[in-house]
Amino acid sequence: MSSVTVRVPAKVNVQLSVGPLREDGYHDLVNVFHAVSIFDEVVAKESESITVQVNGKWSDQVPTDDCNLAIRAARALAKHAGRTYGADLIIQKEIPVAGGMAGGSADAAGALVACNELWGLGLPMEDLMEIAGDLGSDVPFSLIGGTAVGTGRGEQLSELPTGGTFHWVFALADGGLSTATVYAECDRLRAALGAEVPWPMLDDSLMEALGTGDAYALGSHLTNDLQAAALNLRPELAPTLDSGRQHGALGAIVSGSGPTCAFLAIDATHARDLAQSLTATGAAHTAVAAHGPVHGATLV
């Protein structure tokens, strides 16, 4: 096999509860991931070394050196296998860069699956999940997709049953937000308040809404503890969220660390109309309708 193609989805966090700052600099999380139908494609081709090329939207914002998470994933897989392998990785970007939708993590997951197939390793998902957890908190979820709750740093996953399809609109912002910067701002805001930070807990009402496929209930229980920090760093996101609510979104939330804003719609028609309204009114320069849950990294 000389070439392998993997399709891997973006994610939205329908609950992101952030615990107190730990001594190791991380936070304990309750992070409910939901994979949505915005996809990157990762192609792995035979090569003597591991390289990456990025095409499509935001390609100029993605590093192609050792900082690239897909390169790191391929190298980690080769090291795990105990041999020297090569692959030219070609990434077709559709997921926003630094947009709070796990674009880099998706590409890393795609590289793991593609190289596992290209190199004929035949490693089980358990091995890939272990490697993914060392690469970043969002990478394991990008492998499995669907809907899942992540605890610890977010990498300890349990799949959640979802009773139907949910329809979303994502307002894509100009420029990205550093995840580390948003977490640091969250810690700063909390320190300024001086209040004790509670231990993160899974929202039972949100779980029920997911299980029954009730979009109205899910919309009323979307939560993101990083949203205040993201809005403090990018105040222009607040009017975008307000505009989505005014146009009938069942829920409006910053996705992950932002700056992408996510809106839950009633159905596919409402999602299409909402996306058009957001762009027509100037609330967003680009708005994309999508649905979830969808599968994680998949060979195509």
**Is residue 25 a known part of a binding site?**
no
> From CA 97, how far away is CA 90, in angstroms rounded?
16
Return the structure tokens found at 76. Answer: 């980690």
**Is residue 101 a known part of a binding site?**
yes
**Is residue 243 a known part of a binding site?**
no
**Is residue 9 a known part of a binding site?**
no
CA 17 to chain centre: 15
**Which residue in the list 40, 107, 138, 214 is annotated as catalytic?**
138
Contact 25, 59 (CB under 8 A): no
Render the burial of 151-180: b for 16+ CB within 10 Å, e for the rest. bebbbebeebebeeebbbbbbbbeebbebe
**Is residue 98 a known part of a binding site?**
yes
**Is residue 178 a known part of a binding site?**
no
57 as an active site residue: the answer is no
**Which residue in the list 11, 45, 93, 107 is annotated as catalytic?**
11
**Is residue 292 a known part of a binding site?**
no
214 as an active site residue: the answer is no
**Is residue 282 a known part of a binding site?**
no
**Is residue 239 a known part of a binding site?**
no
Residue matched to tokens 């058009």: 276
Sign of the torsion formed by the C-alpha atoms of 125, 127, 132 and 138: positive
State the catalytic residues.
11, 138
| Residues making up the binding site | 96-106
| Residues making up the binding site for ATP | 96-106
